[in-house]
Structure 1
Amino acid sequence: MAHVVLAGGGTAGHTSPLIATAERIAEADPSGTLAAVGTARGLETTVVPAAGLRLELIPPVPLPRSLTPELLAVPWRLVQSVRQARRILRQEAADVAVGFGGYVSLPVYLAARSLGIPVVIHEQNALPGLANKVAARFAKLVAVSFPDTPLAGAEYFGLPVRRGIAELDVDGRRAAARTGFGLDADRPTLLVSGGSQGALSINTATLGARAALLAAGIQILHVLGPKNITETDVVVTDDTTGARYVPVGYVEAMEDAYAAADAMVGRSGAGTVMETATVGLPVIFVPLPHGNGEQARNATFLVAGGAGVLVDNADFGADRMRSEVLALFDDPERLPAMRAAGRALVPPDAAGRLAARVLQIAERS
């Protein structure tokens, strides 16, 4: 019976693999205990309890990206958060601490190390965050989503994803998924999604390319993001081909959208990259142009392996979208080849394998 404490939060990029791994740990060790650590300002306050996990909160320790007065407060905040993390680890009698990055993870890593509790880290992005860079120096296991993540001792696991995605039967589910969205079950289908919040540049390009793609007989499922959809976003049908454009604000089960699609246009966050590769969905990636360039880096191995296409956000207008999408759908051999390439590049069952290693380390502690 293992006592496991998991840390991660802020965004879905940290909470989703945490939840996927926790579910598999619970399946493998039903008599053990699980607790998650987060902060009050992150997504974890809703999604972690919704997944049936107990959530303990500690103060966040955001790290300024530049030399500002805020930087002077970091040491004191970190000390306070580490104290809280130590209390939780003792309270849970933790055998192992598993971190998925984000502000909350560093205090937990440091607290675990001070108590002699083994640390396991999982890094979602191709470019690692500061917390995982620090913990990689003393962690028992450094698991990464991408094959070229620059962390010492990294082992390529892939990204832990929900069973619904990891075990998705695309061929068996495709017809029902399409009709569930109001699409034709037998028509070539493009999925467009900028992530849970949508992406303005992708949405704008899609509206500009819509008429040409529908005229080519390609139906479109467009996930605009819940804040971006309005009453003007309505179903559009091409009078000649009958192809439909179906706009939605949000999709609760993305595996349905993945199953419905022959190809996708989207950002290249770690979740999107690894989920689409897992299910074998070819993607035209349009990386978010901000940050440290991690989104472009995330997609590199799939593009190099023939499983995706990368287009700079500044170059992605309606004309470029039309030409890239038509190039995929006009070549009958290209999409199947990209599907196979994506699946071959991603290790299977990352959540299950990570859960097994966590429990092995807990047993030895």
Structure 2
Amino acid sequence: MKIVVSGGGTGGHIYPALALIREIKKETKDAEFLYIGTEQGLESQIVTRENIPFKSIHITGFKRKLSLENIKTVYRFLKGVNRSKKMLKEFKADVVIGTGGYVCGPVVYAAAKLGIPTIIHEQNSVPGLTNKFLSKYVDKIAVCFDEAIQFFPAEKVVLTGNPRASEVLGQDGIKGRFSVGLKTNNPVVLIFGGSRGAKPINEAVLKSLTELGEKPYQVLYVTGDAHYEEVKKEVELIGSPGNVVIKPFIHNMPEVLAGIDLTVARAGATTLAELTSLGIPSILIPSPYVTNNHQEKNARALSDHGAAELLLEKELTGKKLIDQMDQILMDEDKLTKMKMAARELGIPDAAKRLFHLMEELVKTKGK
């Protein structure tokens, strides 16, 4: 099977795509891949490091207000469609899947117009503009949240989950704890604001460091590369408690997550897929700076089912954060119930589900 994957802009679109590719490689040896992204996006670096054939088109996203730039974007879209058609024909694609980001627009649209079986994968509970547009043309729409189903034609939607969820299973949590300097006997709360970090979360944690040092649990505090040096200076003034480990970034996150009891995080779709797959309770502080406020809606998909506590950024203080952490970690019954609720929302075989959906589509639609 010849599979074209397109997705880019953020890790939330790229990592699920890579997880799917890895799963397909395990399932079948004769699959061939072509990844279509943009040169400017993260995908051009991340995908090529994985030794996956990569080609690019030039495309930009639409602005939400009328502007001259949108006219240019329409031109780039049409040009991108033509280039995509040429690449798809040359590759002789059997199926095309878009995992999000505006680069998917021309690629998946071109595939649909050529009669190639097409799927889009929507990671969030509220879809973005590109997937809303493509939903009219694709054969199937794979979603990760029940809440997303209402936005798409019902006959096309399949709940598959996020392929990234499959990659965090089977990891050694003890090894993960050792790798970042944590003890194996005390509970651990992981605090992180994504790969670049989140300043409001960092500020709340820094104001609470002294109090955190008196807690019976450990804290793994990931600042994000962009904020690490600034945080380090603050910590030198305050003093770093012995039960708090501070890191700029975690490269072996799946392994580390396997040893975590509670997570404080943003509410990106990939993060939530990992947490629910492992059954990790969370305190979610959604970013208010994203399209359609989709992170808050993602978070509510967990908090409404008892798998997470929702803490809005505008209400975030060091005291509120520590109070919520204490209420969960120091109440064994609540912690257990949240673990069970998180696990019930998880779809650990998401990558397999998505691959089988692709296989079925190719068989039934063909070329």
Question: What is the rounded CA distance, in whole Å, between the counterparts of 1:289 and 1:317 in structure 2?
Answer: 16
Whether the aligned pair in 2 keeps the contact of 1:39 and 1:57 (CA below 8 Å) is: yes
Aligned counterparts, 1:4-19, within 5 A: 4-19=3-18
Verify: 1:159 aligned to 2:162, yes or no.
Answer: yes
Counterpart for residue 61 of structure 2: 62
Query: Structure 1 stretches of 5 or more lacking a match?
Result: none
TM-score by length of 1: 0.93
Identity %: 30
Deviation at 1:162, TM superposition (A): 6.1
Question: What is the rounded CA distance, in whole Å, between the counterparts of 1:69 and 1:164 in structure 2?
Answer: 43
RMSD after superposition: 1.7
Question: What is the rounded CA distance, in whole Å, between the counterparts of 2:179 and 2:95 in structure 1?
Answer: 43
Deviation at 1:210, TM superposition (A): 2.1
Verify: 1:214 aligned to 2:217, yes or no.
Answer: no
Counterpart for residue 344 of structure 2: 344
Question: What is the rounded CA distance, in whole Å, between the counterparts of 1:221 and 1:260 in structure 2?
Answer: 11
Deviation at 1:27, TM superposition (A): 2.3
Call closer, same or farther: CA 1:90–1:280 in 2, change over 3 Å: same
**SS of structure 2 residue aligned to 1:250:** coil
Question: What is the rounded CA distance, in whole Å, between the counterparts of 2:240 and 2:174 in structure 1?
Answer: 19
Letter of the 2:38 counterpart: T
Q: Residues 183-203 of structure 1: CA distance to partner in whole angstroms, max 9, x if unpaired?
A: 221112110000011000111
Question: What is the rounded CA distance, in whole Å, between the counterparts of 2:115 and 2:239 in structure 1?
Answer: 61
Letter of the 2:331 counterpart: D
TM-score by length of 2: 0.93
Deviation at 1:20, TM superposition (A): 0.8
**SS of structure 2 residue aligned to 1:344:** helix
Deviation at 1:236, TM superposition (A): 5.7
Aligned counterparts, 1:1-365, within 5 A: 2-149=1-148, 150-153=151-154, 154-161=157-164, 163-165=166-168, 167-169=169-171, 173-230=172-229, 231-232=232-233, 233=235, 238=241, 243-291=242-290, 292-364=292-364, 365=366
Question: What is the rounded CA distance, in whole Å, between the counterparts of 1:346 and 1:175 in structure 2?
Answer: 22
Letter of the 1:279 counterpart: L
Question: What is the rounded CA distance, in whole Å, between the counterparts of 1:61 and 1:324 in structure 2?
Answer: 41
Question: What is the rounded CA distance, in whole Å, between the counterparts of 2:35 and 2:75 in structure 1?
Answer: 23
Question: What is the rounded CA distance, in whole Å, between the counterparts of 1:162 and 1:282 in structure 2?
Answer: 15
**Which stretch has the larger CA shift, 33-42 or 254-263?**
254-263
Q: Residues 304-358 of structure 1: CA distance to partner in whole angstroms, max 9, x if unpaired?
A: 1111000110111111111111111221111121111111112231111101221
Letter of the 1:76 counterpart: Y
Question: What is the rounded CA distance, in whole Å, between the counterparts of 1:26 and 1:224 in structure 2?
Answer: 34
Question: What is the rounded CA distance, in whole Å, between the counterparts of 1:343 and 1:111 in structure 2?
Answer: 38
**SS of structure 2 residue aligned to 1:306:** coil
Letter of the 1:301 counterpart: A
Whether the aligned pair in 2 keeps the contact of 1:176 and 1:185 (CA below 8 Å) is: no
Whether the aligned pair in 1 keeps the contact of 2:165 and 2:347 (CA below 8 Å) is: no
Question: What is the rounded CA distance, in whole Å, between the counterparts of 2:93 and 2:30 in structure 1?
Answer: 14
Higher helix share: 2
**SS of structure 2 residue aligned to 1:265:** strand
**Which stretch has the larger CA shift, 82-91 or 321-330?**
321-330
Letter of the 2:341 counterpart: A
Aligned pairs, how many?
356
Q: Residues 47-73 of structure 1: CA distance to partner in whole angstroms, max 9, x if unpaired?
A: 111222111101113211211111222
Whether the aligned pair in 1 keeps the contact of 2:209 and 2:240 (CA below 8 Å) is: no
